[in-house]
């Protein structure tokens, strides 16, 4: 196959995306595919890359033509399918997915709608709740409300949630821009909210669940169209006590890095229920291809935290570890996703989108 590996992007998770691309690139080489490296700069511009660098090389600009494909100069790149390791804004929120669809480039993973819903945590939680999945109690602040944030809003939030809060951008990932607050004042609340707002149009304020076990499931659409949902793994974060949550540094750093414990050692009934919730959540937002779904467990209470429609694929990432625990190495996962994307695109092209004749 001729595969476009898309990475980088106008996102706070730009570096994570590049690291994930390095891992996927190795798998594509092992599968003997022809690889086109497509780097997206921090300004959102697309460039063809000779190799994967820590910064996007900007000497070979690309252009996209709706209905046709991806071009360098006036030459169309012979792409069969694309694999994106992009995260966050414009990469995981439906924008990239819709762009590829418009340009007739089959893309692995979730489509435009499910990516957009999954990225916007409050929208996703509303749908999960409608399907009977417990979610973390939360309040979302719109851009208008952020511009008029006052002590009344702060007091109403405390009254509705608790005096321990978790504040984060509503459509960002990798624990970027997040803050845990214990007994917050109006001043510390505003500081955390406005920090989160620099990464997202809306800010999500949640009840801080403590003490808590963090558990994650991996989901993969198999060739027979069934869903594989792994048993949950438990997140072991040696440095959690310093911040109160799984931070960006703990996920991707070199010291005190968080990792998966498999099996989770959770009660078997809790594990079963987590898997049921993971499957239900995946189907509820019309997800496809693959995803990682994250949960909080407090005693015997389960909360679905969020769904990641493009999970991290670095050497330290949890999705590959979870899939390996059920016998699927990353090479197999990548090949399944490539074939699924092509098959889905063929079905899409066979549908009728022309108006009926009078």
As averages over each run of 10 residues, the pLDDT of the chain (358 residues) reads: 97 91 97 98 97 96 97 97 95 96 98 96 96 96 95 96 93 78 95 94 94 96 98 86 48 60 96 98 98 96 97 90 96 98 95 83
Do 321 and 265 lie in one domain? The reply is yes
Do 67 and 166 lie in one domain? The reply is no
Identify the domain containing residue 128 by its residue range. Answer: 117-134+210-327
Q: What is the pLDDT of residue 124?
A: 96
Residue 74, phi then psi, degrees to nearest 5: -110, 15
Residue 216 domain flag: yes
Q: What is the pLDDT of residue 355?
A: 85
Do 219 and 306 lie in one domain? The reply is yes
Residue 31 domain flag: yes
Q: What is the pLDDT of residue 248?
A: 45
Do 173 and 46 lie in one domain? The reply is no
Do 255 and 267 lie in one domain? The reply is yes
Question: 117 CB contacts (<8 Å, ≥6 apart)?
Answer: 123, 124, 127, 285, 286
Kindly report the CATH number assigned to the domain that includes residue 288: 3.30.470.20
Q: What is the pLDDT of residue 240?
A: 59
Structural domain tally of the chain?
Answer: 3
Do 128 and 99 lie in one domain? The reply is no
Kindly report the CATH number assigned to the domain that includes residue 71: 3.40.50.20
Half-sphere exposure of residue 88: CA atoms within 13 angstroms, side-chain side: 27
Do 154 and 294 lie in one domain? The reply is no
Residue 112 domain flag: no
| Residue 138: closest CA among 120, 173, 162, 117 | 162
Residue 38 domain flag: yes
Do 179 and 229 lie in one domain? The reply is no
Burial status of residue 183 (CB atoms within 10 A of its CB: 0-12, 13-18, 19 or more): exposed
Residue 332 domain flag: no
Q: What is the pLDDT of residue 353?
A: 81
Q: What is the pLDDT of residue 358?
A: 80
| Residue 320: closest CA among 293, 292, 339 | 292
Do 122 and 246 lie in one domain? The reply is yes
Do 298 and 310 lie in one domain? The reply is yes
Do 126 and 229 lie in one domain? The reply is yes
What is the rounded (10 degree) CA torsion for 126, 127, 132, 138? -20
| Residue 119: closest CA among 4, 178, 200, 44 | 200
Q: What is the pLDDT of residue 176?
A: 77
């Amino acid at each position: 196959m001729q595969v476009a590996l898309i990475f980088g992007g106008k996102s706070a998770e730009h570096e994570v995306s590049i690291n994930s691309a390095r891992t996927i690139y190795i798998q594509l080489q092992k599968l003997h595919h022809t690889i086109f490296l497509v780097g997206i700069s921090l300004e959102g511009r697309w460039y063809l890359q000779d190799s994967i660098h820590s910064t996007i090389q900007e000497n070979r600009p690309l252009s996209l033509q709706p209905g046709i494909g991806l071009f360098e100069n006036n030459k169309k790149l012979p792409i069969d399918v694309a694999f994106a390791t992009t995260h966050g804004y414009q990469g995981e929120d439906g924008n990239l997915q819709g762009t590829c669809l418009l340009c007739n480039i089959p893309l692995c993973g979730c489509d435009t709608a499910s990516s957009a819903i999954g990225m916007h945590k409050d929208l996703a939680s509303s749908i999960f709740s409608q399907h009977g999945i417990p979610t973390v109690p939360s309040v979302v602040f719109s851009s208008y409300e952020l511009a008029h944030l006052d002590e009344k809003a702060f007091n109403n939030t405390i009254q509705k949630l608790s005096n321990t809060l978790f504040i984060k951008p509503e459509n960002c990932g990798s624990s970027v821009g997040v803050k845990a607050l214990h007994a917050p004042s109006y001043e510390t609340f505003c500081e955390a909210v406005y920090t989160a707002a620099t990464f997202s149009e809306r800010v999500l304020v949640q009840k801080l669940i403590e003490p808590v076990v963090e558990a994650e499931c991996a989901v993969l659409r198999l060739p027979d169209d069934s869903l594989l949902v792994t048993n949950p793994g438990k997140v072991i974060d040696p440095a959690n006590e310093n911040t109160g949550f799984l931070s960006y540094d703990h996920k991707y750093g070199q010291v005190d890095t968080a990792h998966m414990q498999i099996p989770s050692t959770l009660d078997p009934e809790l594990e079963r229920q987590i898997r049921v919730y993971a499957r239900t959540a995946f189907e509820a937002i019309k997800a496809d291809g693959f995803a990682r779904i994250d949960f909080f467990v407090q005693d015997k209470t389960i909360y679905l935290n969020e769904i990641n429609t493009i999970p991290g694929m670095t050497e330290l990432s949890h999705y590959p570890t979870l899939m390996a625990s059920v016998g699927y190495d990353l090479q197999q996962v990548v090949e399944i996703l490539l074939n699924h994307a092509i098959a889905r695109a063929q079905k899409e092209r066979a549908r009728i989108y022309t108006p009926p004749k009078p």
